[in-house]
Amino acid sequence: MKSKTRLFVGSLPYRYSESEILKLFVTCGKVVDVRVIKNPWGRSRGIGYVQFENEEDALRAKEKYHNFIILDRTIIVDFAKEDPLDTPEGKMRQLEKIEAKKKKHFVPHTEKSNHIRETVYTQRKFGSKVGKKFASRNKK
C-alpha cells in the first residue's frame, strides 16, 4: 500500500529546502522521494511529503520526527492521504477538468456572433442610470 510509505510533513520552516528535509529523514531509512509544496510564486508553503522505500522506515520516521523542533517550529509528521490522481476516479476527474477548460475557451462561429453590438450602456446593464446622467449633462 503506497500511502503507508508516504509521510506528510507540516509546519516546516519556510526556508527549508528539499535537500535539508532529505538530510533529516534519511537517518530513518531509504528515502525515495521528497517534495516541498510551493505557492504559485515559487515560495515554500511550509508543507511537504517524504516517501520511503518500505513501511517500517516510514513508521520509524513518523515516531521519531512527529513534534520534532526545527528552528523554533514544531513539525507535524503523519501518514499522507492517497494522491487523488493515482486513483481511476481522480484521473477521470482531471481529464474532465482539462476538457472543460478547452471547451470554455473555444468560441464557435455562429449567426449570433455576427449581430451588431448594442450600445455600451445597454450591454453592461446599467444604461438607464448612466445614459440619463450623460444626457442631462449634454443638454445644458
For the chain, domain boundaries: 2-85
Comparing CA positions, the residue from 90, 76, 95, 58 lying closest to residue 11 is 76
Cα(13)–Cα(46) distance, rounded to whole angstroms?
6
Nearest to 10 by CA among 83, 68, 64: 68
pLDDT attached to residue 1: 43
Q: Extract the C-alpha cell encoding 46.
A: 511550509
Nearest to residue 52, comparing CAs of 67, 34, 37? 34
Superfamily, domain 2-85:
RRM (RNA recognition motif) domain (3.30.70.330)
pLDDT, one tens digit for every residue, the chain (140 residues): 446 899 999 999 999 999 999 999 999 999 999 999 999 899 999 999 999 999 999 999 999 999 999 999 999 999 998 877 778 898 899 899 888 888 776 555 555 555 555 665 555 555 555 555 555 555 55
